[in-house]
């Protein structure tokens, strides 16, 4: 059977005595390869920990494959890699010190059509055997495998539908059931055309009553007055067109029927736009829905936060350097603007970590550099960091100096390691410890930023549905990854009453970098901040710190959560837009974008309102309508008089 996980597994890539490699597709249609440790092996002492440590060590090495997602706490632990990482699962299993056998590529048919497969594949015999003992370390860095396809799903390209499942590799646990063989190929048979009976179509039938010549000659018709009738028709046409235009102009000033909400193909939001808002509410919720409006209210105020640390790692006793070169590393998370003068709330452990977290990040960076230099093996990174954590300290250039810290915030779409525009420099004003809420207040050096409103009277109970927002990325390269705002509807699963803070837990998360993100109510107001749940094995960001901790920090710092002029204009524009009043919405969005240029959603929704209103909507264009209607009426009267006179004259002539 196929492993469990958030993927659609397509076929087996290879196997080893302790697990298998699969090709899969994620929820967004991207190709990944997944290394799965067999559940029986994971139950043996030492294997689960070794699997996780080696995977993390490989990902942190300079040329190692980055991890897309992983679940080391599952019954059968697994780790997923992006397709561009190549044969990453094979590297992982070989780094564990076990043999790996790739599934051979199926040959492509040359000229003959596919033949039906006869028979039924036999199930694999044998029961998965438990693996005893812990994995033995392998000296040296894992070697790349030659002749492996770059994309794992290309192993059986164009041959899978007519091939039975690959045989399990020898000595590997037989946990994968064979796939059903493909049936015989279906060949469409062209229907035989029906026989056509009867005489040829181009030969007319013989008519015995047809006379060779006409017996009676009719009198010649009277001469038609073509020109006069054409003039009458022209007058009538002028009357109809002119009258219609005048009536339309007059009626355009009156309120009409509400316009039909835009569809997915005509939403008013162009697919390709020079604007780059961090969140596109119309793509993450039903169009014109309350969820879209809530996301539109909170989306512009989201901030990508990056803090860069530079220092030297020393021994606590004596101050000797562990490495002579300085080390630089960064921490990334989310935040939200709560005051338009540039005040942002984020996560304390992200922007101002405790000394043990800070030195742990520094040691990990030193270990990765040693791996790149060849003086440390990737599998030993975790051991290197753990054994030196309690005896090391991160300092500045001198033993008594603090390490250098630089903080930057970016709105809308963000990129890592950006220190100039559009990144905005900032500083930490105040930070609460973990037990008090783990919330930090940052001041960015830019004003007129779009702001979110805190719902200080929010009441959150189990089974409450919330919208959560936070930054995330799908890039595999950490240094220059691109980050956008993600959103998801979640459900509160419970409230932790063991602490005075009373945080609540949710059933899903947005990923590693959503820490410091927000949970909002149906009106778009903030009711809490996302944090990692230390009680979970994967430490996922499924803990929500109540809004009370956020307001307490603002009060202690003397900062008020207040909307600016541009924020009120933007919300007024949203009210008009979602009510179908595009003209008012355009004017309000214009004002909001002018007073707060960082609010790119104001510009996006302005364009949507213009497109929804349609061309030719000009309330000042009806001054010409009355004379046009009068002229059209005169032309129509003349046309009617002339037509009646012509008909009477024709009737008199017909009597004679």
Per-residue pLDDT tens over the stretch 339-392: 999 999 999 999 999 988 999 999 999 998 888 888 888 888 889 999 999 999
Residue 193 has pLDDT above 80, yes or no: no
What is the pLDDT at residue 477?
Answer: 82
| Cα–Cα dist 104/44, whole Å | 30
pLDDT, average across residues 477-487: 91
pLDDT, average across residues 27-51: 88
% residues pLDDT > 90 (the chain) = 42
pLDDT, average across residues 313-318: 90
* Phi-psi category of residue 171: left, alpha or beta, with phi > 0 → left and psi -120 to 50 → alpha: left
Mean pLDDT of the residues in the chain? 76
For the ranges 57-66, 153-162, 450-459, 540-549, the lowest mean pLDDT is seen at 153-162
Q: Does residue 171 or residue 471 have the better pLDDT?
A: 471
Sign, CA dihedral 561-566-569-570, equals negative
pLDDT, average across residues 638-649: 59
What does the domain layout of the chain look like in residue ranges?
1-106+137-179, 290-557, 564-613, 625-656
Q: Does residue 632 or residue 294 have the better pLDDT?
A: 294
% residues pLDDT > 70 (the chain) = 67
pLDDT confidence band for 26 (50 / 70 / 90): confident
pLDDT, average across residues 481-506: 93
What is the pLDDT at residue 245?
Answer: 54
422 exposure class (CB count in 10 Å sphere: 0-12, 13-18, 19+):
middle
* Residue 310: strand, helix, or coil: strand
Per-residue pLDDT tens over the stretch 93-131: 898 889 999 987 655 444 434 444 333 334 333 334 444
pTM higher than 0.85, yes or no?
no
What is the pLDDT at residue 196?
Answer: 35
Q: Which long-range contacts (CB under 8 A, 24 or more apart) does 203-211 make?
A: none
Considering only the top CATH level, what class is 1-106+137-179?
alpha beta
Is CATH 3.30.43.10 correct for 290-557? no
| Cα–Cα dist 652/638, whole Å | 22
Per-residue pLDDT tens over the stretch 394-408: 999 888 899 999 999
Which H or E element spans position 283?
Answer: helix 281-284
pLDDT, average across residues 78-96: 88
pLDDT, average across residues 218-241: 54
What is the pLDDT at residue 183?
Answer: 37
- Chain centroid to CA 434: 30
Per-residue pLDDT tens over the stretch 545-573: 999 999 999 999 999 999 999 999 999 99
Angle, alpha carbons 354-48-123 (nearest 5°) = 150
Contacts of 153 (CB under 8 A, 6+ apart): 10, 11, 23, 31, 83
Sign, CA dihedral 73-76-77-80, equals negative
Residues 592-609 as b/e (b if ≥16 CB within 10 A, e otherwise) read bbebbebbbbbbbbbbbb
Phi and psi for 175 in degrees, rounded to 5?
A: -100, -5
Residue 151 has pLDDT above 80, yes or no: no
Residue 236 has pLDDT above 80, yes or no: no
pLDDT confidence band for 210 (50 / 70 / 90): very low
What is the pLDDT at residue 168?
Answer: 36
pLDDT confidence band for 140 (50 / 70 / 90): very low
Peptide bond into 108 cis (omega under 30): no
Distances in whole angstroms, Cα of residue 45 to Cα of each of 79, 173, 367, 382: 19, 17, 26, 18
For the ranges 3-12, 169-178, 598-607, the lowest mean pLDDT is seen at 169-178
Whether residue 300 contacts residue 411, with contact meaning beta carbons closer than 8 Å, is answered with: yes
Going through 496-531 in order, the beta strands assigned E by DSSP cover 504-506, 518-520, 526-531
One-character DSSP codes across 482-498: EEEEEEEEEEEEEE-TT
What is the pLDDT at residue 29?
Answer: 75
Residue 163 has pLDDT above 50, yes or no: no
């Amino acid at each position: 059977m196929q492993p469990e996980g958030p993927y659609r597994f397509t076929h087996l890539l290879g196997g080893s005595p302790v697990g298998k490699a699969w090709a899969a597709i994620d929820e967004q249609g991207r190709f990944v390869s997944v290394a799965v440790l067999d559940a029986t092996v994971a139950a043996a002492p030492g294997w689960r920990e070794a699997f996780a440590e080696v995977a993390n060590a490989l990902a942190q090495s300079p040329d190692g494959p980055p991890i897309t997602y992983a679940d080391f706490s599952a019954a059968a632990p697994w780790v997923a890699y992006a397709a561009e990482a190549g044969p990453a699962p094979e590297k992982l299993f070989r780094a564990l010190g076990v043999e790996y056998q790739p599934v051979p590529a199926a040959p492509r048919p040359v000229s003959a059509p596919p033949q039906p497969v006869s028979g039924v594949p036999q199930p694999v015999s044998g029961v998965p055997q438990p693996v005893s003992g812990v994995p033995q370390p392998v000296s040296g860095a894992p070697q790349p495998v030659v002749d492996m396809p770059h994309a794992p799903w290309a192993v059986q390209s164009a041959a899978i539908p007519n091939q039975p499942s690959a045989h399990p590799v020898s000595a590997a646990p037989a946990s994968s059931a064979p796939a059903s063989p493909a049936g015989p190929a279906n060949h469409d048979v062209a229907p035989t055309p029906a026989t056509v009976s009867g005489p040829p179509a181009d030969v007319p039938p013989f008519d015995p009553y047809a006379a060779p010549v006409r017996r009676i000659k009719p009198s010649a018709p009277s001469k038609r007055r073509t020109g006069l009738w054409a003039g009458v028709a022209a007058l009538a046409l002028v009357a109809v067109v002119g009258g219609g235009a005048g009536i339309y102009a007059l009626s355009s000033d009156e309120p009409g029927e509400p316009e039909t909400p835009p569809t997915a193909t005509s939403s008013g939001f162009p697919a390709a736009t020079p604007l780059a808002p961090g969140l596109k509410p119309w793509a993450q919720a039903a169009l014109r829905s309350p969820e879209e409006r809530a996301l539109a209210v909170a989306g512009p105020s989201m901030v990508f936060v990056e803090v860069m640390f530079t220092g030297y790692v020393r021994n606590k006793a004596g101050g000797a350097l562990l490495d002579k070169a300085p080390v630089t590393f960064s921490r990334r998370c989310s935040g939200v603007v709560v005051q338009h003068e540039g005040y942002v709330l984020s996560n304390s452990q992200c922007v101002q970590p405790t000394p043990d977290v800070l030195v742990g990040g520094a040691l990990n960076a030193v270990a990765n550099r040693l791996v790149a230099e060849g003086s440390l093996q990737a599998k030993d990174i975790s051991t290197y960091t753990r054994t030196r954590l309690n005896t090391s300290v991160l300092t500045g250039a001198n033993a008594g100096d603090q390490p250098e810290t630089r903080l930057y915030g970016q709105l809308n779409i963000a990129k890592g390691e950006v220190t100039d525009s559009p990144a905005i420099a900032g500083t930490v004003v105040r930070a609460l410890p973990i037990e008090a809420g783990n919330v930090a207040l940052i001041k960015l050096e830019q004003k007129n930023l779009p702001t979110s409103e805190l719902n200080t009277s929010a009441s959150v109970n189990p089974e409450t549905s919330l919208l959560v927002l936070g930054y995330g990325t799908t890039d595999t390269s950490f240094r220059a990854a691109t980050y956008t705002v993600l959103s998801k509807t979640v459900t509160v699963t419970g409230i932790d009453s063991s602490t005075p803070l009373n945080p609540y837990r949710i059933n899903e998360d947005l990923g590693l970098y959503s820490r410091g993100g927000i949970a909002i109510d149906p009106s778009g107001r903030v009711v809490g901040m996302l944090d990692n749940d230390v009680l979970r094995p994967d430490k996922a960001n499924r803990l929500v710190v109540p809004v009370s901790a956020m307001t307490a920090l603002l009060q202690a710092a003397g900062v008020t959560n207040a909307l600016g002029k541009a924020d009120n204009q933007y919300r007024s524009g949203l009210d008009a837009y979602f009510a179908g009043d595009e003209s008012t919405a355009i004017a309000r969005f214009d004002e909001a974008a002018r007073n707060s240029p960082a609010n790119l959603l104001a510009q996006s929704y302005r364009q949507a309102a213009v497109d929804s209103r349609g061309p030719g909507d000009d309330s000042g264009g009806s001054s010409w309508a009355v004379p046009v209607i009068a002229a059209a009426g005169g032309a129509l009267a003349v046309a009617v008089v002339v037509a009646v006179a012509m008909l009477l004259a024709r009737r008199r002539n017909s009597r004679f």
